[in-house]
Amino acid sequence: MAFNTTVWTYVLTNQTLYINETDNVLSLSVICTTGTITVNGSGGFQGIPSGAITLSAGQGFTLSAKNIQSPITGVTITASSGNAAEILLSKN
């Protein structure tokens, strides 16, 4: 069976992007380009639930899936009015 990976790029403004397991995202890179953006995960760590973080212009992050069977899931990125984030992701 062949696995095809595609790349998606987008400038997120005045929107929220939800990334779930069914999206099959293998890697995700985000940089805030204007104002601030909010990023929230849905998982927990050592019994502590995720909380939203705010990134300012010039700040960003990259996530990678462990393997193709375990894609990135439970990530919400919000760029509200007047704010922007550049997003690059690869998906199966």
Long-range contacts of 68-72 (CB under 8 A, 24+ apart): 68/3, 68/26, 68/92, 71/21, 71/23, 71/24, 71/25, 71/26, 72/19, 72/23, 72/25, 72/26, 72/27, 72/28
- The residue ranges of every structural domain in the chain are 6-43+50-91
pLDDT tens across 20-45, in order?
A: 999 999 999 999 999 999 999 999 99
The model's pTM is: 0.92
**What pLDDT is recorded for position 2?**
57
As a whole number, the mean pLDDT across the chain is 94
- Structure confidence at residue 79 as a pLDDT band (50, 70, 90): very high
Q: How many CB atoms lie within 10 A of CB 78?
A: 19
Q: Which CATH class is domain 6-43+50-91?
A: mainly beta
pLDDT band at 5 (very low <50, low <70, confident <90, very high): confident
Predicted local confidence at residue 3, as pLDDT: 66
